[in-house]
Each structure stands twice: as structure tokens, then as C-alpha cells.
Amino acid sequence: MRRHLSLFHVLVVALLLAALSGCAGARGQKGAAVKLDPAKVPNPYHSLVDIEFVKPLVFEAMLSQKAPTNFMIIDARPKQPRYDKGHIPTAVSLPDAQFEKMAASVLPADKNTLVLFYCGGTACPLSHQSAWKAEAMGYTNVRVYPGGDPDWEAAGYEVWTARDVRTPLPKLDPAKVPNPFHRLITLDQIKPAVAAAMLSTTPLTDVMIIDSRPKQPRYDQGHIPTAVSLPDSQFDKMAAQVLPQDKTTKLIFYCGGTSCPLSHQSAWKAEAMGYTNVHVYPAGDPEWVEKGLVVWTAEGAAQAPAPAKAKTEARPTTLKAGKVEGSIDNAFFAELVKTNVGSIQLIDARSATEYAAAHIPGSVNKTVDVLEKEIATFTAEKPIVFVCSTGARSGEAYYMFKEMRPDLKDVYYVDATVDFAPDGSITIK
């Protein structure tokens, strides 16, 4: 797969310009100053467009949550070897030779939809032939990009191959992510930004990737390369220092996956501050690691999140510690919840909305910012255990107590994915 990361900046700027120019159907036809050889293209289509018309469509489709319904880009070349070898991103395959067989299943049902055909350049008649056929079927908004694939690549833009399958957006659980952000992106869409930032000798100024999880233990253990740390719980305190001054900068927030609301919460806050190009990568760190992509830790690069440091001191307790610093053994905690939850101070660090949807009976709901305000009031009467849905916010609470209340030795957090059921039961993964 050929990638042209150096032009990533151009893509983002062009996308912003495209957004300002309105929807695809209203952009109008660009003048396509091309000369077609009558011997090779004997029946050119009457409505031609150039690359400046095509680019905003491609960028819009690449950044959309779903395939756009107001336009379709169509590769009229044979699927093998041409389309599979390399095609304009988001284009669908409808070989001209298979048009009669495939058109009904490929083309949009709404015949007012913009359908844009291309093929192998100015010497290729296939896109013109397909465009005439589409018009004969009743499609009223047909265009041909005569420069096609050669013109696209000559301009330095990326192509997709048969191996490039767009990662679908994950389904978010409303109980865990009650207020999802309105602009989501996939792994395929964040990877070019990460790669561009890694290859750049200076920090990028047009895009910033932001880890909304707590710095300890999550960000320091392993984060997406080049991402900056801006914990959602510290957003109001840190945003002015961390976020760029240019509010048109593309911001990509992520956190602990589909069960984590932190990135969505931060994205809404950034948009409220006036940032106009905000996105959330909802699959977040879990998908990045699952795909075997490199992560960075507080100590540097690593192929997988670095394990937490071992405990350096013994703590008097009746609880069973887990394998990583500050954690409680998951099986022990699950049994404790069933049989003797009153023996601990169980604090649920999730939002009030999440807590109201389902929580462990006997737990108290206190978000990290509330805990920080009330931290002086806690006593060592009972062991303190923090819980949340992914271990991120509970871990943040633990490290805050470790730093601000070192006198409290009997403090733990649940370092796991926890599913809360309405009946008060939990499942630990």
C-alpha cells in the first residue's frame, strides 16, 4: 500500500476548505482542462470534473462515520488487477465490463445522488462509458473525473489497495458512554496522523492526539505514540496549557476503548472552548494494542504497555493485592463484593450518570475531582477500594491518594474492565 504521509497536512486543510464550501451536491462543477484523444475516448461524457472537485469528496468520505449518502465515487476499471492494486480512497468498484450485471446492486437507490466515475486517465474510455450508462438509467447528477487514478497519484495522494478495509466504528454502550461525541474516527483514520507525527522532526501544528486517561497509571504505562496527556479529570486545570492556541487544529481524543467515556467528555469540553475540528477515536488504546501497533511509555517506546512497577513496600491489610502496584486481586474483590462489601470503603469513581445506571450496592459515587476536594476527610477506619469501568479513573484516584495521602496505606483500585449490571452484580474481565 502506498502512503504519502508528507501530504497529510494538505489533506486536513483541504477538508476544512471543503467543509466551508457546503455539501457535495452544491459544490458545482470544476473546469476540467483536459484534452482527450478522440481515437482513445471516442464518446467523452459531457460533464467532466478535475481533482479539485474530487478531493473534498474523498476527504469527506474518509472522515465520515458512515458511507456518505449524497455522493458515490466509482472506479470503472477492472477489479483485478487495477482496483485491487490501487484505487482512490473510498471509491467502490463497478467495472464498466460488469456494469449491466452489477449496477443495480452497487449504485445508490436515489437517482439524484452525485455519482462520480473515474478510470485509468485521459486515455481510458471506461469511466465515460459507465457515465453514459448511468445517465440512461435515470441518474441526474453524473460526473466523470477524466484524470482518474494517474492524476490522483501524480498529485501525491494516497491510494487504497485490496488489503485496505475501512475499520468500522465500534458500537458504544449508552450505559457506559451516555453522551458520545458527534464526530468519531476509526483506526484507519488516526494511523496517518500518528505516522506523520512520528516522522516529523518538529511537533505537528495542525493535529494533536490527546490521551484522556489518567496519566498514572494508564498514560505512563502505555499510550499511542506522540499523544499528549490531558486527563479528563484535569481538563479544566490543564487544557489552556496543553491544547494549541489555534482553535482550527485537528484534535483527536482517545481513552480506554468503547467502555470509556473520558475522551467523549473531553471532546465536548474542547468544542465548548471553541475548537472547531474535534474528533474522538472511540476504540482507543485497547484496539491500538490489539492490532500490535507500537506504544510509548513513560520510559520510551515499547511494543506493548509496560507492566506497572512492583510494590516497594508492604502494606498492612486484610485484602489480597493484585499483580500491579495498588491493585486488588480481581477474584478476591469479586468475592468481597458478594459477601462482605461493608468491610471496605468502596468508592465508584465513574460519573453520576454511569453510577445511576448501575452500581455495586454499598458503594459511594465520587468522581476524581470530588475526591480531590474531599481527600483530607478520609480516614483509615476501613480499607479504601476504588472501582470504575476500565481501571483508569479508579487508578487515577489511587495514585492521587498515594501522592496526597501517603499516610493511608490501605488503599487499592480495581485494575480491570468491570461491567455493572442493574441488579448490582458485576463481571470482571
Give the torsion sign (CA, 251, 257, 263, 267). positive
Give the torsion sign (CA, 359, 360, 361, 363). negative
Q: What was the pLDDT predicted at 63?
A: 65
C-alpha cell at 212: 484522556
- Give the separation between CA 142 and CA 47, rounded to whole angstroms: 7
* Farthest-apart Cα atoms in the chain, separation: 91
User: Three-class SS string for the chain?
Assistant: CCCCHHHHHHHHHHHHHHHHCCCHHHCCCCCCCCCCCCCCCCCCCCCECCHHHHHHHHHHHHHCCCCCCCEEEEECCCHHHHHHHCECCCCEECCHHHHHHHHHHHCCCCCCCEEEEECCCCCCCHHHHHHHHHHHCCCCCEEEECCHHHHHHHCCCCCECCCCCCCCCCCCCCCCCCCCCCCECCHHHHHHHHHHHHHCCCCCCCEEEEECCCHHHHHHHCECCCCEECCHHHHHHHHHHHCCCCCCCEEEEECCCCCCCHHHHHHHHHHHCCCCCEEECCCHHHHHHHCCCCEEECCEEECCCCCCCCCCCCCCCCCCECCCCCEECHHHHHHHHHHCHHHCEEEECCCHHHHHHCCCCCCEECCHHHHHHHHHHCCCCCCEEEECCCCHHHHHHHHHHHHHCCCCCCEEECCCCEEECCCCCEEEC
C-alpha cell at 126: 471506461
Q: What was the pLDDT predicted at 26?
A: 31
- Give the separation between CA 335 and CA 333, rounded to whole angstroms: 5
Cell numbers 488503599 label which residue?
411
- Give the separation between CA 77 and CA 402, rounded to whole angstroms: 63
Per-residue pLDDT of the chain (429 residues; tens, 9 = 90+): 333 333 444 444 344 334 333 333 333 344 446 788 889 999 999 999 999 999 999 888 876 656 789 999 999 999 888 898 889 988 999 999 999 999 999 999 999 999 999 999 999 999 999 999 999 999 999 999 999 999 999 998 888 876 555 566 788 888 889 899 988 888 888 988 888 888 888 888 999 999 999 998 899 989 999 999 999 999 999 999 999 999 999 999 999 999 899 999 999 999 999 999 999 999 999 999 998 888 999 776 554 444 444 444 444 457 999 988 899 999 999 999 999 999 999 999 999 989 999 999 999 999 999 999 999 999 988 999 999 998 989 999 999 999 899 999 899 999 999 999 999 999 998
Q: What was the pLDDT predicted at 314?
A: 44
Closest CA to 183 of 246, 276, 75: 276
Rounded to 5 degrees, φ, ψ at 74 are -130, 125
Q: What was the pLDDT predicted at 301?
A: 54
- Give the separation between CA 290 and CA 187, rounded to whole angstroms: 11
Q: What was the pLDDT predicted at 70?
A: 94
Q: What was the pLDDT predicted at 169?
A: 75
Q: What was the pLDDT predicted at 28?
A: 38
- Give the separation between CA 128 and CA 44, rounded to whole angstroms: 6
Q: What was the pLDDT predicted at 30?
A: 44
**Contact (CB, 8 A) for 221 and 297:** yes
- Give the separation between CA 68 and CA 108, rounded to whole angstroms: 11
Closest CA to 127 of 154, 147, 107, 111: 147
* Torsion angle (degrees, nearest 10) of CA 192, 196, 198, 203: -130
Closest CA to 40 of 111, 118, 110, 126: 126
Closest CA to 278 of 241, 239, 234: 239
- Report the DSSP pairing between strands 426-428 and 418-420: antiparallel
| Residue 60 Cα distances to 89, 96, 291, angstroms | 11, 25, 25
The predicted model scores a pTM of 0.56
